[in-house]
Amino acid sequence: MAEPAPEVVLRADGVTAGYGGPPIIEDVSLTVLAGKITAIVGPNGAGKSTLLKALSGVLKVSRGEVHVRGGKTTNIPPEKLVRHGLGYVPQVSNIFPDLTVRENLEMGAFTRRRGTGARIDELCELFPDLAISLRRRAGMLSGGQRSMLAMARALMLEPAVMLLDEPSAGLAPLLQSALWEQIEKIAATGVGICVVEQNTRRTLRHAHWGYILVLGRNRLDGPAQELLHDDSVVELYVGRMS
Ligand SMILES: Nc1ncnc2c1ncn2[C@@H]1O[C@H](COP(=O)(O)OP(=O)(O)OP(=O)(O)O)[C@@H](O)[C@H]1O
Ligand SMILES: [Mg+2]
């Protein structure tokens, strides 16, 4: 018998958003499945962060719709969206450097009534590096550990889908590999991952499905392994097809 299709945990249909002027992203549609890594790659300034802000309620969606686990979430503010199952790790300022690692995780659980300690224990198994640093100030962590902490924080509320904005930015290649291993482990627990990155090849190697965002529009999508060998991806980057 065929395996049941994974649940669609996030769907965007024709999403348009910006900062008050002309739209920065226009008519973007995408699907994220439970337990899979969906990558959105594109050059600097393509609108990747803007797209994640629109999906996570940080930025107003002017046209189109967003659904989390089948429920419409368009323009629901971020603090309410966590209850619908969406976790968001922004590109910058995603941890509190003056708090300890444990306090950061507790902050991530702000709407959780009970089980905070047990959830921290679970996440420590998933992120052994954090387990040994629980009492350290988050500002003292390495870049790689900070990225892990930011993800662990978002996982405190057991989201169905997690949006990651350039988690590997600024990390040395070896640390990037460790980070991708962690992201794959998180997906294996059933969480749908939607990750945006500038590093196209490395990201697509780890993803299930890829979207190529250029000048605020989705120009191409497909199975990540196929995109890796698709010459039109390179052409989109250098602008010959735009
Ligand atoms: N707060 C803002 N106000 C106005 N314009 C903005 C703001 N943030 C970003 N932009 C503009 O939106 C466009 C897309 O920016 P965005 O940060 O979404 O790109 P990106 O794909 O995430 O780039 P990068 O890979 O460098 O992070 C850029 O032209 C940028 O100048
Ligand atoms: Mg960005």
SS (H, E, C) the chain: CCCCCCCEEEEEEEEEECCCCCCCEEEEEEEEECCCEEEEECCCCCCHHHHHHHHCCCCCEEEEEEEECCEECCCCCHHHHHHHCEEEECCCCCCCCCCEHHHHHHHHCCCCCCCHHHHHHHHHHHCHHHHCCCCCEHHHCCHHHHHHHHHHHHHCCCCCEEEEECCCCCCCHHHHHHHHHHHHHHHHCCCEEEEEECCHHHHHHHCCEEEEEECCEEEEEEEHHHHHCCHHHHHHHHCCCC
Ligand 2 mean position, distance from CA 18 (Å) = 14
Question: In the chain, where are the structural domains located?
Answer: 8-95+159-238
Instruction: Lowest mean pLDDT of 90-99, 110-119, 183-192, 195-204, name the range.
Output: 110-119
Whether residue 45 has its Cβ less than 6 Å from ligand 1: yes
**pLDDT band, residue 79 (cuts 50/70/90):** confident
pLDDT of residue 6: 87
Instruction: Lowest mean pLDDT of 52-61, 105-114, 165-174, 199-208, name the range.
Output: 105-114
Ligand 2 mean position, distance from CA 136 (Å) = 29
Query: d(Cα 149, Cα 127) in Å, to the nearest integer?
Result: 8
Ligand 1 mean position, distance from CA 45 (Å) = 5
Give mean pLDDT, residues 20-46. Answer: 96
Whether residue 50 has its Cβ less than 6 Å from ligand 1: yes
Candidate of 15, 26, 44, 49 to mutate for ligand 1, largest count of ligand atoms within 8 Å of Cβ: 49
Ligand 2 mean position, distance from CA 114 (Å) = 34
**pLDDT band, residue 1 (cuts 50/70/90):** low
Give mean pLDDT, residues 150-165. Answer: 96
Query: Nearest Cα to 54, choosing from 95, 13, 109, 94?
Result: 13
Whether residue 46 has its Cβ less than 6 Å from ligand 1: yes
Residue 65: burial class (beta carbons within 10 Å; 0-12, 13-18, 19+): middle
pLDDT of residue 233: 80
In terms of pLDDT, which residue wins out, 25 or 3? 25
Strand 217-223 and strand 209-214: pairing?
A: antiparallel
The mean pLDDT value of the chain amounts to: 92
pLDDT of residue 241: 43
Q: Check: pTM over 0.85? Answer yes or no.
A: yes
Give mean pLDDT, residues 8-13. Answer: 98
pLDDT of residue 209: 97
Domain 8-95+159-238 has CATH 3.40.50.9100: no
Q: Do 143 and 170 form a contact (C-beta atoms < 8 A)? A: yes
Query: d(Cα 65, Cα 181) in Å, to the nearest integer?
Result: 32
For the cut 50, the answer to whether the pLDDT of residue 140 exceeds it is yes
Candidate of 24, 28, 53 to mutate for ligand 1, largest count of ligand atoms within 8 Å of Cβ: 24
Atom 17, ligand 1: residue with shortest CA distance: 49
At 227-239, the pLDDT tens digits run 998 888 877 776 5
